[in-house]
Structure 1
Amino acid sequence: MTLPLGNGHTAAAHVIASVLRSDGIQASVYDPSENLCSLFPLTRALRWLYRFAVNWRHGSVHVALYRLADRHPASVSKIVNIVFGRRFKAWLNSIGPVDFFISTFSLLGYLLGESGRAPVVSFVTDAGPVNRIWFYGSIDRHIVPDSGSYSVAMLCDVESERVSLVRPPISAGGVIAKEQARRDLKLEDRFTVLVTGGGLGLGKGILEAARALVAARTDVQLLLNAGKNAELLNDFTDLCTSGTSCTVTGFSSDFPLMLAACDLVVGKAGWLTLNEAISAHRPTLIVDVVPGQEEGNCSFAEKARVGRRVSPIEVPAVVQHYAGSESALRDDFSFTNEMLSVAWADDLADDLKKWAWDRW
């Protein structure tokens, strides 16, 4: 169960469903916003609201809402339940029998718990000092990605036996060969940078970094991925009319190939974006952080030595430094530390099966 407030929540739901299906468990992904309002498209409204909150006046709206939810999780949850609770329960009754729910969005976990329909697992999609609203409500199991989010659960008086730590993924031998990926994408075999705006292309730092790279005319190959953001796609296309060696794409199933083909990622601190880069063993220069929500993700990436926060204008110099020294890239980043899990999918499936077995 997910909501379209940041593509990471939705993508995480599909990844979890895929993991469960591969383990023989029947799983479906639902977005309640597609069904709760007949008067106007709620999904589109939520996406617009999220974009506005994150981008207007340096994210001040998002910061205010985030702090409100963190300081008053009970009040915020109850208001949402008053507005949507009755219709949400009616919609739940229409989807057929369910053994348990997995929520990848905090308030959905609360609404599912209030419905009393089936046991609820909350899958936390950010790291570090996450919002306390993740741990409010009648939730049976919390899955968190790191010690920081685990500590918040403890501060919220969640019993330790109801919280499990499943570390972020690192691939185990499944990394696509860089040379093959470049051949498949018809790219030159030289230092390549993937600039990606994530699923929704949120954040202005991505475009600023791309402009800085193009203006600097560094001797690197650029892949500019705009996700589902049509405006960012147009901006990227305009940038590449200047003769710079770059390839522009929107949302594409070739994204894993792009990751494999690059040496370095320039992007935001979304949990999904970071984990995709981690799984491909590609370090990330973080140029965008959604205030409040993604600061913990950025801190995790830096502590785990899989990412580094830089300003957009610093990107060309940092890229040129790494392009000229493979040893510097190896020295500054690592994908073999204990903060990452080789067997992430197995860990998740095993944890859920053990929890379900103990209940039934």
Structure 2
Amino acid sequence: MRKQPKILILYARFGNGHYQAAKALQEQFAAREEADVRLVDALEEAHPRWNACSKFVYDRIMARCPRLYGWSYDATRGIPSDAPLGRWLYASGHRRVQAILEEQAPDAVIQTFPFAAMRYVRRTPGRTVPSFTVITDYVLHGRWIHRDTDGYFVATEALKQELSASGVDAARIRVTGIPVRPAFREASDHADRYSDFGLDANRRYVLAMAQSEELVNDIARLLAEGTTRRHALSFLLVCGGNGKLFRKAVARFKGEPDIRVFGYVEHMERLMSASSCIITKAGGITLTEALALRLPVIVTRPLPGQEKGNADYWAARNAIRVAGDLPSLRSALRDIAEGRVLSARQAPDSPPSLHASRTIAQTVLNRLSEAGQEGGRDRGPDRGRLILPSNAPGRAFTEG
């Protein structure tokens, strides 16, 4: 019996999106039963203390001085990860990544977070390990670009063209959309999406994804003004894993009939499908999930960097509304109540592919099969390489 290939998916917990993309791919490979898939939080494995410190600093900067992050994002956007400055900026824990590769002995590596350490994948002694990058935003940053990457999976044709203009062979880029879990394709048909959360199927709910007190304050003012009663709307406030924010919100809205407060929600797709719209930040994964469900989206105060880029991309296509302050949020909610907010179904461009994870999984398996590799192990000095040298023309992806 032929041994299943082992596929290693590297992600990081800077936000939840990179992990959700990795989970979507893991679920797709598991459904196919054609590969042994392992997920690894590479930053946590490489430098747990540095990782915790970095996340703490990142959260504080985004909360108190987001323009600083936006400036650094824009300043480094055009610097490839394998340029000298890029290697210094983006490299993290490459020795540990090399050790993980030697321990796990994967046949292919997929990353959903931009690791400069991907350049060490091909340096695994005695083996040629193909590597793939899934870009989880609708805008490009140089940290995603790695000379040794065999294939890129991107959200849009425009992103493919931008990546190609940055020097990546177009034959190594495939437009798939951003992977979301299969549950987001099925949630709208879930019969219990209201009863699961004790909701009234006859009411209209506004799902609000709170990452800070700023949105909580906005909702408190809207409730005080009578916005929900006037427009027959109720809020579903989700605080995620932020226990401090959850406790504050529970205390603040105690006894308020037009709002429910949640902490971490296991089946977010069901809560989303029970809602009339979502108020959220502009993470690539969250936007893709909402658009996959044809859920009208209001993005509040997009932060500088990839969030603003993601929001600008979809706002330009009339698929989302951007609310930069409380008055514009109030206006967007009024339009929802009166049926004037576009959903992805009405937008001029179609929503992201619902089958990105399936396409990516099939493509990776096809490439392993075509290369004549069993587990990615070389049977000769050059036999089984999935990619030509960087100065030679690349091979097109095989259609899945």
Give the TM-score band, short-chain normalised. 0.7 to 0.9
The DSSP-based 3-state class of the residue aligned with 2:107 is coil
1:145-224 paired onto structure 2 within 5 Å: 145-168=155-178, 174-177=186-189, 180-188=192-200, 189-197=202-210, 201=211, 205-217=214-226, 218-219=228-229, 220-224=233-237
Q: SS of 2:138's equivalent?
A: coil
Q: Runs of 5+ in structure 1 lacking a partner?
A: none
Cα displacement (A) at 1:205? 4.8
Deviations 1:138-196, CA, capped at 9 Å, x for gaps: 11111110123212211211001111010247989724358742233112221110001
* Structure 2 partner of 1:292: 305
Query: Any conservation in 2 of the 1:213–1:315 contact (CA below 8 Å)?
Result: no
Do the aligned residues in 2 keep the contact of 1:204 with 1:288 (CA within 8 Å)? Answer: no
Distance 1:305 1:358 in 2: 41
Task: Pick from 1, 16, 30 the counterpart of residue 7 of structure 1.
Answer: 16
Deviation at 1:238, TM superposition (A): 3.4
- The alignment covers a number of residue pairs equal to 349
More helix by share: 1
Deviation at 1:344, TM superposition (A): 2.9
Corresponding residue number in structure 1 for 2:76? 69
Inter-CA distance 289–102: structure 2 relative to 1 (3 Å threshold) = same
Q: What CA deviation, in whole Å up to 9, does each residue of 1:188-222 have, x standing for no partner?
A: 2211100013xxx2x56533432333233222111
Give, in whole Å, the separation in 2 of the partners of 1:224 and 1:215.
Answer: 16
Counterpart of 2:149?
Answer: 139
Letter in 2 for 1:274: L
CA shift for structure 1 position 263: 0.4
Would the aligned equivalents of 2:116 and 2:146 in 1 still touch at CA under 8 Å?
Answer: no
Checking the alignment, whether the CA contact within 8 Å between 2:30 and 2:37 is kept in structure 1 is: yes
1:70–1:131 contact (8 Å) kept in structure 2? yes
Conserved? CA contact 1:12–1:272, under 8 Å: yes
**More off after superposition, 155-164 vs 183-192:** 183-192
Cα gap change, 1:358/1:288 in structure 2, threshold over 3 Å: closer, same or farther? Answer: farther
Matched, 1:321 2:307: no
**1:65 corresponds to which letter in structure 2?**
S
- 3-state SS in 1 of match to 2:306: coil
Match of 2:138 in 1: 127
Give 1:275 shift.
1.6
Could you list the runs of 5+ residues in structure 2 that have no partner in the other structure?
Answer: 1-9, 373-400
Which residue of the partner structure matches residue 391 of structure 2?
Answer: none
Instruction: For 1:1-360, list aligned pairs within 5 A.
Output: 1-24=10-33, 25-37=35-47, 41-57=49-65, 59-73=66-80, 74-79=83-88, 84-94=93-103, 96-108=104-116, 110-113=118-121, 115-116=123-124, 118-128=129-139, 130-168=140-178, 174-177=186-189, 180-188=192-200, 189-197=202-210, 201=211, 205-217=214-226, 218-219=228-229, 220-241=233-254, 243-313=256-326, 314-323=328-337, 325-326=338-339, 328-329=340-341, 334=346, 337-360=349-372
- Structure with larger Rg: 2
The alignment partner of 1:125 has SS state of coil
Go from structure 1 to structure 2 and tell me whether the alpha carbon gap of 1:93 and 1:343 turns closer, same or farther (over 3 Å shift).
closer
Q: Distance in 2 between matches of 1:272 and 1:331?
A: 17
Residues 259 and 41 of structure 1, relative CA distance in 2, 3 Å threshold: same
Give the whole-Å Cα distance in 1 for the aligned partners of 2:137 and 2:90: 23
Q: Is the 8 A contact 2:46 2:94 kept in 1?
A: no
Tell me the secondary structure at the aligned position of residue 184 of structure 1.
Answer: helix
CA deviation after TM superposition for structure 1 residue 320, in Å: 2.7
Partners of 1:335 and 1:185 lie apart in 2 by: 30
Give, in whole Å, the separation in 2 of the partners of 1:275 and 1:166.
12
User: SS at the partner of 1:54?
Assistant: helix
Distance (Å, rounded) in 2 between the aligned partners of 1:71 and 1:287: 27
Report the Cα distance in structure 2 between the residues aligned to 1:190 and 1:288, rounded to whole angstroms: 27
Q: Deviations over 1:238-257 (max 9, x none)?
A: 33126241111111213222
Q: 1:216 to 1:147 in 2, by over 3 A?
A: farther
SS in 2 for 1:29: strand
Partners of 1:134 and 1:204 lie apart in 2 by 31
User: Deviation of residue 345 (structure 1)?
Assistant: 3.3
Say whether the 8 Å CA contact 1:284–1:307 is kept in structure 2. yes
Give the alignment's Cα RMSD to 1 decimal.
Answer: 2.8
Q: Which amino acid aligns with 1:146?
A: T
